[in-house]
Amino acid sequence: MEKEDTQKVKPHCLILPFPIQGHINPMLQFSKRLAHKGIKITLAATKHIFKTTQHFPNSISVETISDGFDEGIGSTSTDAYVAEFQRVGSRTLTDLLAKFRSSGRAVDCIIYDPFLPWGLGVAKEFGITGAAFLTQSCAVNIIYYHVYKGKLKMPLLEKEYLFPGLPVLEPWEFPSFIYDPEQHPGSFELVLNQIKDVEEADFVFVNSIYELEKEVTDWMSKFWQVKTIGPTIPSMYLDKKLLDDKDYGLSIFKPVDACINWLDKKPPKSVIYVSFGSMAELQNEQMEELSQALKSTNNYFIWIVRSSEQSKLPNNFVKETFEKGLIVSWCSQLEVLAHDSIGCFVTHCGWNSTLEALSLGVPMVAMPWWSDQSVNAKFVMNVWKMGIRVRPDVNNVVRKGEIVRCVKDVIEGEGGEEIRKNTRKWRDLTREAIEKGGSSDRNIEEFVNVLNPRSLNSK
Of 206, 207, 197, 252, the residue nearest 233 (C-alpha): 207
Is residue 378 a contact partner of residue 169, using CB atoms and an 8 Å limit? yes
Asked if 330 interacts with ligand UDP (CB under 6 A), we say: yes
Asked if 203 interacts with ligand UDP (CB under 6 A), we say: no
Task: Identify the residue among 92, 352, 374, 422 touching ligand UDP (CB under 6 A).
Answer: 352
Dist. CA 394–CA 66, nearest whole Å: 44
Q: Which of 23, 245, 348, 372 is catalytic?
A: 23
Of 380, 383, 388, the residue nearest 411 (C-alpha): 388
Asked if 278 interacts with ligand UDP (CB under 6 A), we say: yes
Complex with ligand UDP: residue 208 or 455, whichever CB lies closer: 208
**Residue 384 carries which side chain, given as an amino acid letter?**
W
236-275 residues in contact with ligand UDP (CB under 6 A) are 275
Asked if 350 interacts with ligand UDP (CB under 6 A), we say: yes
159-178 residues in contact with ligand UDP (CB under 6 A) are none
Output helix, strand, coil percentages for the chain, rounded to the nearest 5: 45, 15, 40
Alpha helices in 326-388 (DSSP H): 333-337, 351-360, 373-378
Complex with ligand UDP: residue 81 or 219, whichever CB lies closer: 81
Dist. CA 407–CA 384, nearest whole Å: 18
Asked if 351 interacts with ligand UDP (CB under 6 A), we say: yes
113 is an active site residue:
yes
70 is an active site residue:
no
Q: Which of 67, 108, 113, 441 is catalytic?
A: 113
Cis geometry, peptide bond prior to residue 155 (ω within 30 degrees of 0):
yes
Task: Identify the residue among 19, 230, 277, 438 touching ligand UDP (CB under 6 A).
Answer: 277
Is residue 208 a contact partner of residue 137, using CB atoms and an 8 Å limit? yes
Backbone angles phi, psi at 35, to 5 degrees: -60, -40
Task: Identify the residue among 25, 86, 137, 359 touching ligand UDP (CB under 6 A).
Answer: 25
Dist. CA 123–CA 166, nearest whole Å: 33
Contact segment (CB under 6 A) with ligand UDP among 75-83, 95-103, 138-146, 328-336 equals 328-336
Task: Identify the residue among 46, 286, 333, 440 touching ligand UDP (CB under 6 A).
Answer: 333
Residues that bind ligand UDP (CB under 6 A): 22, 25, 275, 277-279, 304, 330-334, 350-353, 356
**Residues with catalytic roles:** 23, 113
